């Protein structure tokens, strides 16, 4: 997309180089050599992205970020910083910067960061347009902390569907904040004055779950000494959030389907049905399409709850949101525990950004809580982090020191690389085949076909190995030992 970009740096030659590259890519640029000049240009013109150095004479890039956020809340700011000054970049992120890039950098990488910032700006303008057109409040999902494009897409969907009564299915890994999304939908809707009632379908047996959802009459079962109103009726004019609906027992699925179709429930032990008017939002970390194919979840119920789907991205897909969340957790936990911890070292920030966070936001919060509890100073240090976060190293293929012929012998075929990558993606998304197919660029049928072929190949390989093992045993005396080729450990997700 063509954009108007403001470049601010006291190094005029760098400004010229960046401007030439951006203009060659079809953008318009204006240049300023101090933060003060940049603010004057911002007052006179409309920009889509601001790019600024951190350390300049006069006002710093961090202070500039604060001024931009105060006057142009939706305008993304990208800060540039030299090696060794990551602390300044983190300060800029806290002050409202969208992203930072470390000097020296490649123009292609710089352009990629700019494109992402432009995408965010376009999305924010669309959300603002929707708010203006529908009379929505100025704040969508304030409890969802972060400014990554992945999270902005979630906010955009929340803004679009909040004032409808469509049933919503929220998907995502455990710990990503699915209940926060459900609550944000409720708070942005016309039902916000009604109750928001949440229940975890995996936390109770079928009989108790039915009683909780539909209610019961007096004497319906032991200890039912008084009638009880179910959550569907209790949330009248409000919202019912059914978390982990993929764990719901099969018998209860049929009863829930009827309740959603008829918009009425029958309390346990009663002959009378009661109408309800509540919006239904469901959530799961499971791949429900696979569950339907395997006959573990009712297909008719799936289509009933899957009117609008919102996928909450994992923390590893949200970039610098990790630092924003970590700083917010740090401030809150330090206040609660009356500790003097104010921030984190640059090394800690790098570790938090590099770690894949399989437990997502919940794991990050626990990590920060632990670090605040054991910290001895005003800043979290590396030794304060849990061992798995502190010692994490991204895995990679290393051919250094490997003989070329051996490396060629050990290098996998394209078919093997595809099989490895499919396994890595499935592991990264906890076996969710629908999400894996989206990441891989396949439709689900293609993925299932490839998985079936992989299973057949694995079975064939096991048979071949078993036969080879028997032959080796029979020829152990007469056959000389042969050297096995060296292998290269494949990358892991």
Residue 382 DSSP label: G
Q: Quick check: 146 and 321 in contact, CB under 8 A?
A: yes
Q: Which of 165, 159, 192 is nearest to 277 (CA)?
A: 165
Q: Which stretch of DSSP H or E encloses residue 214?
A: helix 206-214
Residues in the chain: 493
Q: Quick check: 313 and 181 in contact, CB under 8 A?
A: no
Tell the residue number behind the tokens 């007052």, with chain if given.
43
Q: What separation in angstroms does the CA of 149 have from each of 146, 156, 438?
A: 9, 10, 17
Spatial separation of the C-alpha atoms in residues 145 and 58, rounded to whole Å: 31
pLDDT per residue as tens digits for the range 22-59: 988 888 999 999 989 989 999 888 898 999 988 887 88
pLDDT per residue as tens digits for the range 208-263: 888 889 987 776 666 766 778 889 999 999 999 999 999 998 889 999 999 999 99
* β pairing state of 343-344 and 215-216: unpaired
At 374 the pLDDT is 92
* Terminal alpha carbon distance of the chain: 32
At 174 the pLDDT is 92
Spatial separation of the C-alpha atoms in residues 16 and 23, rounded to whole Å: 10
Tell the residue number behind the tokens 């309390």, with chain if given.
267
Rounded to two decimals, the pTM is 0.57
Structure token digits, residue 248: 């719901």
Tell the residue number behind the tokens 């740090």, with chain if given.
330
How far is C-alpha 284 from the chain's CA centre? 14
Q: Which of 287, 365, 359 is nearest to 326 (CA)?
A: 365
Q: Please name every residue paired with 242 in a beta bridge, in sequence order, or none if there are none.
A: 199, 282
DSSP three-state, residue 169 = strand
Q: Which of 307, 306, 271, 274 is nearest to 289 (CA)?
A: 306
Under-70 pLDDT residues of the chain: 1, 83-86, 89, 123-139, 219-222, 224-225, 395-413, 430, 458-493
- What is the CA angle 438-443-444, rounded to 5? 90
At 460 the pLDDT is 64
At 271 the pLDDT is 80
Q: Which of 28, 55, 23 is nearest to 41 (CA)?
A: 28
Domains of the chain, start order: 4-128 (3.40.50.2300), 149-311 (3.40.50.300), 316-390 (1.10.8.60), 395-464+483-493 (1.10.10.60)
Spatial separation of the C-alpha atoms in residues 285 and 243, rounded to whole Å: 9
Q: Which of 66, 209, 174 is nearest to 52 (CA)?
A: 66
At 167 the pLDDT is 94
At 407 the pLDDT is 39
Q: Where are the alpha helices (DSSP H) in 338-484?
A: 346-354, 360-374, 387-390, 404-410, 414-428, 433-440, 444-474
At 248 the pLDDT is 92
* β pairing state of 274-275 and 264-265: antiparallel
Q: Which of 114, 158, 117, 153 is nearest to 136 (CA)?
A: 158
Spatial separation of the C-alpha atoms in residues 466 and 484, rounded to whole Å: 18
């Amino acid at each position: 997309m063509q954009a108007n970009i403001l470049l601010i740096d006291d190094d005029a030659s760098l400004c010229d180089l960046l401007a030439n590259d951006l203009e060659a890519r079809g953008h318009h640029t204006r240049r300023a050599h101090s933060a003060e000049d940049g603010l004057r240009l911002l007052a006179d013109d409309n920009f889509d992205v601001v790019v600024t150095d951190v350390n300049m004479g006069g006002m710093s890039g961090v202070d500039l970020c604060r001024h931009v956020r105060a006057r142009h809340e939706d305008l993304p700011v990208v800060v540039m910083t030299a090696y060794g000054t990551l602390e300044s970049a983190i300060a800029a992120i806290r002050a409202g910067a969208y992203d930072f890039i470390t000097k020296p950098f490649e123009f292609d990488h710089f352009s990629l960061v700019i494109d992402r910032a432009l995408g965010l700006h376009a999305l924010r303008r669309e959300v603002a347009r929707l708010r203006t057109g529908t009379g929505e409040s100025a704040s969508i999902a304030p409890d969802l902390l972060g400014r990554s494009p992945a999270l902005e897409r979630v906010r955009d969907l929340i803004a679009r569907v909040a004032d409808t009564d469509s049933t919503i299915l929220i998907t995502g890994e455990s710990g990503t904040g699915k209940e926060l999304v459900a609550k944000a939908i409720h708070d942005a809707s016309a039902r916000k004055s009604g109750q928001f009632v949440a229940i975890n379908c995996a936390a109770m047996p079928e009989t108790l779950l039915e009683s909780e959802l539909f209610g019961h009459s007096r004497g319906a079962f032991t200890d039912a000494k008084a009638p009880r109103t179910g959550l569907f009726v209790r949330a009248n004019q409000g919202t019912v959030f059914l978390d982990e609906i993929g764990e719901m027992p099969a018998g209860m699925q049929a009863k829930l389907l009827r309740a959603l179709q008829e918009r009425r429930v029958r309390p346990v032990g009663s002959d009378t049905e009661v109408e309800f008017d509540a919006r239904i939002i469901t959530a799961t970390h499971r791949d429900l399409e696979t569950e339907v194919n395997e006959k573990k979840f009712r297909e008719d119920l799936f289509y009933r709850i899957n009117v609008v789907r919102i996928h909450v991205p994992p923390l590893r897909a949200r970039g610098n949101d990790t630092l924003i969340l970590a700083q917010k957790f740090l401030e809150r936990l330090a206040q609660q525990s009356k500790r003097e911890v104010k921030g984190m070292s640059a090394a800690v920030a790098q570790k938090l950004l590099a770690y894949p966070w399989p437990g997502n936001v919940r794991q990050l919060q626990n990590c920060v809580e632990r670090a605040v509890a054991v910290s001895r100073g005003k800043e979290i240090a590396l030794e304060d982090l849990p061992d798995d976060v502190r010692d994490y190293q991204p895995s990679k293929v290393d051919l250094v020191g490997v003989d070329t012929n051996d490396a060629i012998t050990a290098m996998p075929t394209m078919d093997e690389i595809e099989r490895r990558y499919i396994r890595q993606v499935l592991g990264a998304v906890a076996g969710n085949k629908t999400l894996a197919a989206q990441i891989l660029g396949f439709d689900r049928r293609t993925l299932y076909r490839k998985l079936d072929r992989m299973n057949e190949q694995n079975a064939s390989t096991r048979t071949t190995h078993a036969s080879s093992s028997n032959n080796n045993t029979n020829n152990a005396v007469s056959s000389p030992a042969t050297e096995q080729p060296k292998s290269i450990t494949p990358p892991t997700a």
